[in-house]
Amino acid sequence: MDCLFCQIIAGDVASYKVYEDEFSLAILDIFPISPGHVLVMPKKHCSTLAEMDETEAANVFRTVVKINKALADLTPNNAGFNILQNNGKGAGQEIEHVHFHIIPRFKDDHVRFKFPKYNLPAAQMKFLQEKLLTAIKKLI
């Protein structure tokens, strides 16, 4: 088993577990962006979201919501939360096991996520919309 998160789930690698149920595990990130940075992952190995079915994803996201609520209670001085999921190496995913980052944000924390914004022509937007609608219908 080469997957670090699978090893943590199996108990072969130590972690700072904060929540576990039948479907998911939540641990403190050992290289946190801020205090309270938690990782939530499915217990079943899936490299990307495309490998998960909707029920598995819903079960994991219920844990994301629980952890976010707990962190909000624990950090009443927070300025908000980033909830991130890097899906694939090209998107910055470092460990090939689906996981969500829940990152508490604080005033003047100097953490910045800056993405470029594009102004696409209406024709391109319409084209993308039609392609997505067709692709989604195939999944339903």
**Domains of the chain (ranges plus CATH)?**
4-139 (3.30.428.10)
pTM exceeds 0.85: yes
- Catalytic entry in 37, 45, 99, 110: 99
- Long-range pairs for 88-93: beta carbons < 8 A, 24 or more residues apart: 88/48, 93/48
Task: Give per-residue pLDDT as tens, 69-98.
Answer: 999 999 989 999 999 999 999 999 999 999
Is residue 82 a contact partner of residue 39, using CB atoms and an 8 Å limit? no
Q: Is 99 a catalytic residue?
A: yes
Rounded-to-integer distance, Cα 4 and Cα 15, Å: 11
Identify the band that residue 1 occupies on the pLDDT scale cut at 50, 70 and 90: low
Cα(45)–Cα(103) distance, rounded to whole angstroms?
23
Mean pLDDT of 4-30: 97
What's the confidence (pLDDT) of residue 68? 97
Q: Tens digits of per-residue pLDDT, 100-118?
A: 999 999 999 998 888 899 9
d(CA 84, CA 61): 12
140 has pLDDT over 90: no
Q: Cα–Cα distance between 102 and 10 in angstroms, integer?
A: 22
